[in-house]
């Protein structure tokens, strides 16, 4: 992904310039903004693949910017902030963040996370492009769309990847560590509860009753499994 475009949004010029110089050396196309208004203007012009986004900006909250940007495109968002509380991280993920890195940070770790996020834009094989149909739930990896009762389900990029991976392995119990390895695609060193946060968000969007889920089921002490509706296997009716 050497041609990927990254927008850095941070009001601290030292941090902003450090990231710009470092990632420019990795052959990414870079732009930066110091506030929310400038960020949104650049976002429309630059059309980035990834936004590295501070939470506290002079004129906006990064959480709000994340939602606005993702309402326009399927852009990835990596929050980079001094807010280290678990509640802040949960909020960042619930509002669309694909990753969350706290300051102070290591540049090599930033590069690893950026690379891992951008790998999700890789070309998928013909098998991976197959639509998965579970009654009224349709998962289309080619278009990166999920529909329920013919209505688009507004999933973030990471939520889509997580749901698609689960649905590709119906009935298989997947540990949180395995989901992180397969979906996040790097050695995530944070709290594995991040998986629970994203599963909770997906359930709210695709389950009839998120408090009693029928599709994504919890296997206590282990992880999760996708339970295909009766009479179906791998997204198709059983023969």
Given 121, 140, 158, the domain boundary residue is 121
Kindly tell me if the per-residue pLDDT of 166 is higher than 80: yes
- 127 falls within a domain: no
DSSP 3-state assignment of 6? Answer: strand
Query: Based on the domain organization, do 214 and 138 belong to the same domain?
Result: yes
Query: Based on the domain organization, do 102 and 179 belong to the same domain?
Result: no
Question: Quick one: pLDDT at residue 90?
Answer: 86
**Count of domains for the chain:** 2
- 126 falls within a domain: no
Query: Based on the domain organization, do 76 and 158 belong to the same domain?
Result: no
Mean pLDDT of 66-74: 88
Whether the Cβ atoms of residue 215 and residue 227 lie closer than 8 Å to each other? yes
Residue 63's domain is classified under what CATH number? 3.40.50.2300
Query: Based on the domain organization, do 113 and 188 belong to the same domain?
Result: no
Q: Residue 32: beta bridge partners?
A: 8
Query: Based on the domain organization, do 113 and 158 belong to the same domain?
Result: no
Give the single-character DSSP code of 58. Answer: S
- 63 falls within a domain: yes
Mean pLDDT of 102-109: 92
Encode 24-48 in three state secondary structure.
HCCCCEEEEECCHHHHHHHHHHHCC
How many helices and strands in the chain, by DSSP H and E? 8, 14
Q: Alpha-carbon torsion 53, 56, 58, 64, what sign?
A: positive
Query: Based on the domain organization, do 15 and 76 belong to the same domain?
Result: yes
- Annotate 161-191 with DSSP letters as a single string: HHHHHHHTSTT--EEHHHHIIIII-S---S-
Query: Based on the domain organization, do 19 and 95 belong to the same domain?
Result: yes
What is the share, in percent, of the chain residues with pLDDT greater than 90?
Answer: 53
- 204 falls within a domain: yes
Domain with 221 in it? 132-237
Residue 127 confidence class, pLDDT cut points 50, 70, 90 = low
Whether the Cβ atoms of residue 5 and residue 28 lie closer than 8 Å to each other? yes
Given 58, 86, 121, the domain boundary residue is 121
Given 121, 151, 173, the domain boundary residue is 121
- 182 falls within a domain: yes
Query: Based on the domain organization, do 170 and 109 belong to the same domain?
Result: no
Kindly tell me if the per-residue pLDDT of 220 is higher than 70: yes
Query: Based on the domain organization, do 30 and 103 belong to the same domain?
Result: yes
């Amino acid at each position: 992904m050497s041609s990927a475009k990254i927008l850095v949004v941070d009001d601290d010029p030292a941090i902003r310039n450090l990231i710009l110089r470092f990632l420019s050396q990795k052959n990414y196309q870079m732009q930066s903004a110091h506030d929310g208004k400038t960020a949104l203007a650049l976002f429309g012009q630059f059309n980035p693949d990834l936004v590295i986004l501070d939470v506290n900006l002079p004129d906006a909250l990064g959480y709000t910017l994340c939602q606005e940007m993702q309402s326009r495109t399927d852009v990835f968002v990596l929050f980079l902030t001094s807010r280290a509380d678990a509640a802040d991280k949960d909020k960042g993920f619930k509002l669309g963040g694909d990753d969350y890195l706290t300051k102070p940070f290591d540049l090599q770790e930033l590069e690893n996370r950026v690379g891992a996020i951008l790998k999700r834009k890789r070309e998928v094989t013909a098998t991976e492009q197959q639509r998965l149909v579970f009654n009224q739930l349709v998962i289309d990896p080619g278009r990166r769309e999920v529909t329920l009762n013919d209505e688009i389900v507004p999933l973030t990029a990471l939520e889509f990847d997580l749901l698609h991976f689960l649905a590709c392995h119906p009935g298989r119990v997947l540990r949180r560590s395995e989901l992180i390895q397969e979906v996040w695609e790097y050695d995530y060193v944070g709290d594995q509860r991040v998986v629970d946060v994203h599963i909770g968000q997906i359930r709210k969007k695709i389950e009839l009753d998120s408090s009693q889920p029928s599709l994504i089921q919890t296997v206590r002490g282990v992880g999760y499994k996708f339970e295909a509706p009766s009479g179906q296997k791998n997204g198709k009716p059983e023969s």
